Chain A
Amino acid sequence: MKTKVLTVDDSRTIRNMLLVTLNNAGFDTVQAEDGIEGLEVLEESNPDVIVTDINMPRLDGFGFIEGVRQNDLYRSVPILVLTTESDDEKKNRARQAGATGWIVKPFDPTKLVSAIERVTA
């Protein structure tokens, strides 16, 4: 069984890039457009790892991460946030919300894959 990655990002461009990169690397992907949709598809997709953006409409990445962590089934699923290099504040807030790690945008496909591999068994 392939590792299943749930990607949450409001940008179609980024979603597609993630899709292509992750599929090429042999992952299964499930996508959501914002935090709300992410929480909706969480249970039905039962991902092994989550990659999420921070700035999103309706429910941002912080809220989404908190939401995931409040679900007993997903308290410890690894969550990686997509963040820009400079943004330490966001990184820290994401961690407080329960993020496992981060991926610096714009992401380099190999780094993305290795970051996911770092947090998944």
Chain B
Amino acid sequence: MDMNEIKEIFFQECEEQLTELETGLLAMNDGDDDPETVNAVFRAVHSIKGGAGAFGLDDLVAFAHVFETTLDCVRSNKLEPDETVMKVMLKSADVLADLTAAARDGGTVDPARSSTLAKDLEALANGQPLPDGDAAPEAAAPAAPAAPAEPVAEAAPAAEASEGPAPTDDSGFQPVPFSFDDMDEAPAEEAPEAAADGKVYTVEFKPNAGLYAKGNDTALLFRDLAQLGQMEVRCNSEALPDLEGMDPEDSYLTWSITLTTESDEDAIRQVFEFAEWDCKLEVTAGKPDADENAEEAPMVPVPFDLSMLGEPEKEEAPAPAAEAKEVAAPATAPAPAPAPVPAAPVAEVAPTPAPTPAPTPAPEPAPAKAASPIIKEPAKKPKVSAVAPAQQIRVDLERVDRLINLVGELVINQAMLAQSVGENEETVSGQGNNINLGLDELNQLTREIQDSVMAIRAQPVKPVFQRMSRIVRESADMVGKNVRLVTEGENTEVDKTVIDKLAEPLTHMIRNSVDHGLESAEGRMAAGKDPQGMVKLSAKHRSGRIVIEIEDDGAGINRDRVKQKALDNGLITPESNLSDEEIDNLIFHPGFSTAEELSDISGRGVGMDVVKKSIQSLGGRISIQSNPGKGSIFSMSLPLTLAVLDGMVVSVADQTLVVPLTAIVETLQPEKSDIHGFGAKQRLIAIRETFCPLVDVGEILKFRDEPADPIEGVALLVESEGGGQRALMVDAIQGQRQVVIKSLESNYSNVPGIAAATILGDGRVALILDVDMIVSASKGQGLALEEMMSA
């Protein structure tokens, strides 16, 4: 893994964090005051900041930092998350998303926008009103001014204030000979010889028990200190009680170190950085005058062998470290090994011969786990703030796709097996019913496997829905409307490929609803409505498909205007007698736009026709229900997956084709009396009260030159663009089945009128019809007919 890959991971993670952020903020906006929600929001921003820092993305870090600071105020209840605050937060989340995108794609973000928001955030954090006006005077006021940085009980390097033993009293300080020559491979340059002009410092060091409890180790501190220069260490063990009185976890030893170094005092203190809190430390220039004490309290010099600790050199350290620890372990064991038999101060027992494993620099509570008693107490469970989330793994999409492909093959094979067993019923029946039973089970299992595999790819629509809340905010801001977005069924799952393609049409439709659907606040009040408009986005499963609805409580489609516009654009003639539904559907016509002047948010060159096309390319349908004065509902119905399809297998001119079941409204067996000729070779079929143009599939696909006799065939009534219907004539229906979609484009090339291919049970390839293409190919005749009918 290299840095670029990590960066990619970072941006992926940012997406997740931004989603998390928005979810949390929206929940807070809806009054969720669970501290965990605020925490999650805070963490999201914090994580983005952390990662951005690692990659030097300074703009992102800077903004995330102010954002985080303000969130921290909310988190610690210093700032009430009221409406004003939430508004700033939501906008900040948008800017953070933009900054992230800019960092990823190399774009830029309007610096004015981010700096204005940053100032707003800072003001909120400081309990001041927003800089650009009276927006939030009360909002921030009651909030306690962000407390002055908590008076941290500062880790005063205790030495100064220390009432500790004066280093130069008559305690039994004893010099510990310390030589770098003893170190096996310590390179000389790493441990500079005491330079002639090196300064001498005295370091008085008295660790508390806390130092060991936090995993620090005196020996390691000395090792680091030794890197600075020539040092001499003396240990004062006077405070060491007798064995019975000794608490192995306490700290009894104090140290006096004379260091000759070219480094300054700061460098010395730096070594004790982690230990500062848990010791008394005094660094003074010059030698201690404790030398003479050594004679008063003679102790046998103990070799201080640094090599036992492993060396700090980079290339050496990691490797031998573990072993070194094992070795060091006994030495750092709690007891001073030469246990003083007579209960007397160690200092007096002194004349122990040198070879004894003697007190080492760190006789305190064994930091090495090797020396710890292996008593496994159940560690007290720390409090857990939330239930464990469902276990998850991340899998490369490619692997899932491969699996789906294989399952597709399995389905085909299973169908082929079933078919050949069926064809050889005679031979097979001799075997009893077992084969058929087994086949049924296989069939069942295959279905289940397929469903489970599809479920792997299924994801909730939530992330896409969440993105829409920003779209609503921004487009509402732009047209000066007050709009709230209500979402429903966010956890409805659908195939990832469908989700990926959903954002664009949804964005456009939402913008459309805010821009055209909803009235202005004045208009709404005049109509006796809540001045705040509502856009509702919902998802649900219905008969094997996902249905997504975008509902607004606006004025509904202005049919007179739509009609006028369609007339102006020549889409209809003045004589056209269109139903309300047909008028509504005109807005999906290419090039249609009712916005009289292009406002900021529409006029991006994308019309509802593009929306419809993209929905259709997903195998979906879109429809409108509009209620004048009450609002409109755009409803999309999409397949749950793009990998399989429920199809009707039909034959046309000796070819086997598959028609997507979802496109078929009904199937009919035409009677002679139902067929009506029109013009040279056009025909209509009478279905109940209406007439519907007949389209011979074989002729359109050029399987034959002349249309077949409709009475011999079957008509499939399909819904076409614009809401009208067509009757597709095929020769016969073979059956219905689920087929695995194989792309023609990736295996061959695009074929007009054909959406894809599949492999049938008998191993033959069958083409899947692109119903809308077939219908539009027949459009020439179709349109003429429609006009005639409406005349």
B314 on interface, CB distance cutoff 8 Å: yes
Assess whether B373 is in contact with A76, with CB atoms less than 8 Å apart.
Answer: no
Among B322-330, B536-544, B716-724, the stretch in contact with A: B322-330
Total contacting residues, chain A, CB less than 8 A? 61
B-facing residues in A25-39 (Cβ within 8 Å)? 25-27, 35-36, 39
Query: If A2-B318, A48-B322, A89-B150 touch, does A76 touch B212 (CB 8 Å cutoff)?
Result: yes
A76 to B149, CA, bound (A): 31
Q: Are B43 and A73 in contact (CB under 8 A)?
A: no
The contact of B54 among A10, A13, A67, A121, by CB within 8 Å, is A13
B325 and chain A: residue at smallest CB distance = A121
In the assembled complex, how far is the CB of residue B11 from the closest CB belonging to chain A, in whole angstroms?
9
Q: Contact between B373 and A72 (Cβ–Cβ < 8 Å)?
A: yes
A55 touches B42 (CB 8 A): yes
Choice from B53, B150, B274 contacting A106 with Cβ under 8 Å = B53
Bound complex: CA A7 to CA B439 (Å): 52
Q: Which residues of A contact B380 (CB under 8 A)?
A: 67, 70
Query: Of A11, A58, A98, which contacts B50 at CB under 8 A?
Result: A11
Q: Residues of A contacting B213 with CB < 8 Å? A: 69, 75-76, 98
Alpha-carbon distance between A19 and B381 when the two chains are bound, in angstroms: 28
Q: Which residues of B contact A66 (CB under 8 A)?
A: 382
- The answer to whether B437 has its CB under 8 Å from any CB of chain A is no
Once the chains are docked, how many angstroms separate the CA of A37 from the CA of B92? 32
- Knowing A78-B215, A92-B152 are in contact, say whether A58-B318 is a contact too (CB < 8 A): no
Interface residue B688 (Cβ < 8 Å from any Cβ of A): no
Q: Which of A56, A76, A84, A101 contacts B369 (CB 8 A)?
A: A76
- Residues of chain B lying within 8 A (CB to CB) of residue A75: 213, 365, 372
B402 interface contact, C-beta 8 A: no
Task: Give the secondary structure class of B's interface.
Answer: loop
Given B277, B318, B383, B388, which contacts A95 in the complex, CB threshold below 8 Å? B277
Mark each residue of chain B from 1 to 41: 1 if its CB lies under 8 Å from any CB of chain A, else 0.
11101100110110000000000000000000000000110
Whether A10 and B47, one on each chain, are in contact in the complex, defined by CB atoms closer than 8 angstroms, is yes
Residue of A nearest to B317 (CB): A117
Query: Does the CB pair A121–B321 fall under 8 Å?
Result: yes
Interface centre among A35, A69, A76, A119 (most CB of B within 10 A): A76
Is A113 in contact with B328, judged by CB distance below 8 angstroms?
A: no
What is the bound-complex CA distance between A100 and B152, given in angstroms? 18
Residues of A within 8 A of B323 (CB): 1
CB distance from B389 to the nearest CB of A (A): 8
A119-B216 contact in complex given A48-B322, A72-B372, C-beta closer than 8 Å: yes
Cα of A74 to Cα of B319 in the assembled complex, Å: 21
By the criterion CB–CB under 8 Å, are B13 and A11 in contact?
Answer: yes
Complex contact A119–B217 (CB within 8 A): yes
Is B367's CB within 8 Å of the partner chain A? yes
* Chain A residue at minimum C-beta to C-beta distance from B211: A100
Q: Complex: how many Å from CA A58 to CA B384?
A: 6
Q: Which of A2, A36, A98 contacts B388 (CB 8 A)?
A: A36
Report the separation of the CA atoms of residues A112 and B365 in the bound assembly, to the nearest whole angstrom: 27
A105-B46 contact, Cβ under 8 Å, with A58-B388, A77-B369? no
B residues in contact with A12, CB < 8 Å? 9-10, 12-13
A16 contacts chain B at the CB level, 8 A cutoff: yes
Please judge, given known A-B contacts A99-B214, A120-B321, whether A106 and B385 are in contact too, CB under 8 Å.
no
Would you list which residues of chain B between 99 and 115 have a CB under 8 Å from chain A? Answer: none
- Taking the nearest CB of chain A, how far is it from the CB of B37, in angstroms? 12
Chain A residues packing against B (C-beta within 8 Å): 1-4, 10-14, 16-17, 19-20, 25-27, 35-36, 39, 48, 53, 55-59, 63-64, 66-67, 69-79, 84, 88-89, 92, 95, 98-102, 105-107, 113-114, 117-121
Inter-chain pairs besides A69-B213, A98-B214, 6 sampled, C-beta below 8 Å: A2-B322, A36-B388, A92-B152, A106-B53, A121-B309, A121-B324
Q: List 16 A-B contacts (CB under 8 A).
A: A16-B6, A35-B382, A48-B322, A53-B50, A55-B47, A67-B380, A70-B382, A72-B373, A72-B377, A75-B372, A84-B50, A92-B152, A92-B153, A101-B274, A120-B220, A121-B321
A-binding residues in B (CB < 8 A): 1-3, 5-6, 9-10, 12-13, 39-40, 42-43, 46-47, 50-51, 53-54, 56, 149-150, 152-153, 155, 212-217, 219-220, 224, 273-274, 277, 309-310, 312, 314-315, 317-319, 321-325, 328, 365-369, 372-377, 379-386, 388
